[in-house]
Structure 1
Amino acid sequence: MRVNRISRAGNRAAVGLSVAALAVGVTSAAGPAAAQPKAAPAAAADCSAAYRIEQKLSTGTTWRMCWRYDTNAGLVLEDISYQPKGEAQPIKVLTSAKLAQIHVPYDDGSVEYDDLTGFGFAQGLMNLAPAECPGGTIKTVKVPDAWDPENPNVKGLCTTTRSRGHAYRMQADTGNRVYQAQGKDLLVYTVNQVGWYEYMTEWRFQDDGTINMNVGATGSLSPGDYDAGDGRGWPIGKGAKAYATSHNHNVFWRLNFGLDGSTKNKVEQYDSVVSAPAQGGEAPRTKTTRTKVTKELAGDAKNMRWWRVVSNTGKNKDDHARSYEIVPGATSKYPGRSYTKHDIYFTDYKKCEQFASHNPRNCGTGAGKSVDKWVNGQTLTQPIVWMNVGFHHVARDEDQQPMPVHWQGFSIAPRDVTAMNPLTPPALADQNGQPDNGR
């Protein structure tokens, strides 16, 4: 029940303020990995230093972007560019990226929530202690329409770096040499409280050009929801008295691509089909077919299906069009609402279309308030990508107390953005494509 959750959020405001008081004057922890602001070159995003994020990772890749804080979406990242070593200029990737809704329907049908546009997600930004942003910087965010107008400033945006393990490993053809590198990521995140839940919105920018978008739900189970019957909940605590009501978290993201500085990108869908071995063949055959997505689409993930957004203007050093592949994450698709029935939507840009459901903007008579209503056969000239990733939360004893983070999300991965692996060691830099046997 969100009534109880709202009251808890209010009661915890004082706790957040005490954390902020402890952190006065402390905006970063010392360390070689600190994501400190730097003077941006001319090619960087056009924003002031306070709203600029720029990080050169130890493997040579630099990510640049601007940030702002929206009254509904919370953190919005803009003008995102990627510059691996060997590239003279930053490669522009996204014009903007943000959450577009967190839809939470309960299994008993009693309630459903749209946390971004209907339940104060942005206003629930939490203060972060320095220990929550190790080796990084905590930026102060002025929260619009803050619940406490006299205290709108929250130390709530962490930028730091993380190791992710092997970026690659390769045994050399001769000798005992092993080529390997440990990957590094720029991590940008906030924590927003909505009643009993705390959502961690995480953006990971890898040194190989991949961007990972994740939302993690943590905090507490609502004791006001311990009233479900068997089949719509799970017993929490002693015996079988308190059944925590099961529910879904349907998270939407909105991506506006700007590959090579142009928002006029193309969309392509790829499907692979496996057939029986040909006569005399040893194995089944697989054929992959490309379909150009020229009109708005409500798409569904299937086995051996994927999409990419392709630059209209930029090519890599091999003369191949730059693109980003969309890599869906694990999902539990919720069929209960028209806008949650599909995994991905491609719509043509309209300024008013900002949130996947209960969109607060006026898009005109008959336009509808959800993303499914905007897929109406219009030609794609400036495609917007909407990704829907669901999680069906059936509570367990281990969810208390506090509740471990459960993550849901997806990635976009570079496809032909650079001519070779952007982390290729110098000794292998000449091994691109067909070997020159005539050397």
Structure 2
Amino acid sequence: MHARPFRRARVGHGRDRVPARTHVRTHRARLRRAALLAAPLLLGTAALTSGPAAAQAVSPAFPASPPAATAAGCSTPYSITQTLEAGTTWRMCWHYDANAGLVLDNVSYQPKSEPRPIQVLTSANLAQIHVPYDDGGNEYDDLTGQSFAQGLQTLDPGECPGGTIKSVKVPGAWDPDHPDVNGLCVTTRARGHAYRLGRYPGETTKIQQLQGKDLLVYTVNKTGWYEYIVEWRFSADGTINMQVGATGTLSPADYDAGDGRGWPIGKGAKDYATSHSHNVFWRLNFGLDGSSANRVEQFDSTTTAQSGALTPKTKTVRTPVAKELAGDAGPTRWWRVVSNIGQNKDGHPRSYEIVPGRSSKYTGRAFTRHDVYFTEYNKCEQFASNNLANCGAGAGTSVDRWVNGQPLRHPVAWVNIGYHHIARDEDQEPMPVHWQGFQLAPRDVTAMNPLTPPELSGHNGHVE
């Protein structure tokens, strides 16, 4: 095994300290320590993944309708299928990895106007949650060093309204006698306006508006004092939102930040909670139109002033990304992954744009210094840091080491979104959820908005 060991907390500091609140928590902590000792052995192989053992049925989010076809490549228990407004259907498979937790496979999207599903992703999952503390005393790789997957939490029915809570068999469970956890929620959630087109003055035409719902798939994973809500949202217009919400409680052992690297919590200015970062990575193995032979493009816009009172001009340049890339986001820079074989009905190649959310870049490690990585597919490269598998001599164990000039024929995207957590009084207790994530936006996947009402279906291209 070729793995970078995670750094242990010093005595009385951080997550390894056993909480003494109740016997139950002490018991869990003991189980967790046992899991930590075994964690380096939990390579993400087929033998260490699982699908649902059963499902707890709850009332469906939509009225009963003829069953849609399941996702390609999995049986019904491993399949998620949901039809949303305007007849759009999302399909995907899922499995549970011993380190990454929830993994989505063969994700496809089918608007009502399309004769067959359009595959978007071959697989998608978290690839690391890297947590360094500001005082330099602790640093964690939560997925591959802190038993993230084994911390899958049982969900209360009230957390999955109108949906289904699926039972997950957790590989390497802390309690091997009870490995099945009712911990995967599949439901829908309102997202507000999908679109709106109102009247101009003097018109009496119909106000076009549609209230949308998302397919929501999520788990909650407990790591130390934190609980991570790992959400995947799929919209009827083809958009995918990925985000992680951190909640739980502040570590009671991390109140020694008297060196200016923390924030006073509680009465007066005696207890200083240590500030730290959460650097979350996602790994996206694209498979647009069922093919791994996708290409990557980068777009940059530059604005130049004109003389006098003339409006400045903006020029956008497209640059093909032919080789592996460590990319830095900017106010007018973006990337898209483009299908080499699929086009929409207008003859434009289908693609998905990566839209990063707000991020606080942590520059303390080489692998966190860039916002997006594109690497050539290698089955061995699974985690953005502390990659557990041995990928060969000199290969390294983090994503920055894998950007070495290979041509991109089967690109894998790694997205890094950082959050610098400076605690506040309101973090006690429980801690309000703070979110970090990004979006995949369809770009020319369909010839028009797939939710376009029939009376506007002729408005494609220039309309007088």
Shorter-chain TM-score bucket reads over 0.9
Match of 1:153 among 180, 184, 203: 180
Match of 1:344 among 363, 366, 372: 372
Does the aligned pair in 1 maintain the 2:357–2:417 contact within 8 Å?
A: yes
Q: In 2, Cα distance between the equivalents of 1:203 and 1:171?
A: 31
* Count of aligned pairs between the two proteins: 424
Counterpart in 2 of 1:20? none
- Residue 431 (structure 2) pairs with residue 367 (structure 1): no
Taking every aligned residue pair, what percent have the same amino acid on both sides?
67
Change (3 A) 1:145 1:28: same
Structure 1 residue 240: Cα displacement: 1.0
User: SS where residue 224 of structure 1 aligns?
Assistant: coil
User: SS where residue 223 of structure 1 aligns?
Assistant: coil
Match of 2:233 among 204, 213, 217: 204
Deviation string for 1:162-190 (max 9, x for gaps)? Answer: 11001111124642421110111000000
Instruction: Compute the RMSD of aligned alpha carbons.
Output: 2.1
Counterpart in 1 of 2:42? none
Counterpart in 2 of 1:256? 285
- Residue 142 (structure 2) pairs with residue 115 (structure 1): yes
| Correspondences of 1:1-400 after superposition (within 5 Å) | 1-4=14-17, 11-12=24-25, 27-33=56-62, 39-41=67-69, 44-172=71-199, 174-277=203-306, 282-400=310-428
User: SS where residue 85 of structure 2 aligns?
Assistant: coil
Change (3 A) 1:7 1:186: farther
Does the aligned pair in 2 maintain the 1:37–1:54 contact within 8 Å?
A: no
List runs of 5+ in structure 2 lacking aligned partners: 1-13, 29-53
Structure 1 residue 12: Cα displacement: 4.1
| AA aligned opposite 1:433 | G
Change (3 A) 1:429 1:130: same
Does the aligned pair in 1 maintain the 2:241–2:440 contact within 8 Å?
A: yes
| TM-score, normalization by structure 2 | 0.88
- Structure 1 runs of 4+ aligned residues shifted over 6 Å read 6-10
Q: In 2, Cα distance between the equivalents of 1:308 and 1:434?
A: 25
Structure 1 residue 27: Cα displacement: 2.1
Say which is worse superposed, 163-172 or 106-115, in terms of deviation: 163-172
User: SS where residue 253 of structure 2 aligns?
Assistant: helix
| AA aligned opposite 2:297 | E
Q: In 1, Cα distance between the equivalents of 2:60 and 2:152?
A: 26
Change (3 A) 1:58 1:13: farther
Structure 1 residue 40: Cα displacement: 5.0
Deviation string for 1:115-153 (max 9, x for gaps)? Answer: 000000000000001100000000000000111111000
Change (3 A) 1:194 1:321: same
| TM-score, normalization by structure 1 | 0.93
Q: In 1, Cα distance between the equivalents of 2:215 and 2:69?
A: 19
Counterpart in 2 of 1:21? none
Counterpart in 2 of 1:19? none
Structure 1 residue 13: Cα displacement: 9.0
Deviation string for 1:88-108 (max 9, x for gaps)? Answer: 100000000000000000000
User: SS where residue 417 of structure 1 aligns?
Assistant: coil
